[in-house]
A and B are shown apart, each in its own frame.
Chain A
């Protein structure tokens, strides 16, 4: 069974605070790690697809790092705004050798609430 764990489960911060969450995944047979942002009553929206150990990606105030050897990824939000309130999901993709698929294994998510 492939386990993808996210922590914390939920987080409440004040506007302007910086925050970060963790995604842990199996360190063997790594192929890719996805981060998604899911706002209430909407559908998941892609943030990053990370593939290489040491990868760092950035999109505005949101950035992510990847450590495939130890099996974790961090998502950082700098200067949180109320519009950042959402559930942040990570999803692990295992390598299946020559014939890869898009079979993502999602974590349970970290729900962020940013208070004005």
Chain B
């Protein structure tokens, strides 16, 4: 158990809908990262937040947005869902903002868009 929690574990929804994925980092960690794992692709970095501010952005679609709240939990919002958004979404956390720390991954949310 990494100490990172994600909810829900599974999500099934229809095209065009909007969903929110939630992540709580390890106690004391200030950075949260979001990743997408699709069937035909490796782990893709989406976005990083550090202490409430956006720190780095990957190839995150405009239909996707994220935020980190004062209590440091983060939410990833996916809207106008398409079949291709079906994937495993992980969040990870670290104490600092830089990249020389181990990232601790949550259990993931498996999203299925029908």
Contacts and interface: CB of A to CB of B under 8 A. Distances in A.
The contact size tier of chain A is 20 to 34
Contact of B98 (A34, A102, A105, A109): A102
Given A102-B31, A103-B48, A105-B45, A43 B107 contact: yes
A103 B54 CA distance: 12
Given A43-B108, A44-B90, A102-B94, A31 B99 contact: yes
Contacts of A25: none
Interface in A76-114: 89, 91, 93, 100-109
Contacts of B33: 102, 104
Contacts, number: 69
Interface residues of B, number: 25
A45 B33 CA distance: 15
Interface of B: 2, 31, 33, 42-45, 48, 55-56, 58, 90, 94, 97-108
Interface of A: 31-32, 34, 42-46, 49, 51, 89, 91, 93, 100-109
Given A108-B42, A109-B42, 8 more contacts: A34-B103, A89-B42, A93-B99, A102-B97, A103-B99, A104-B33, A104-B45, A106-B42
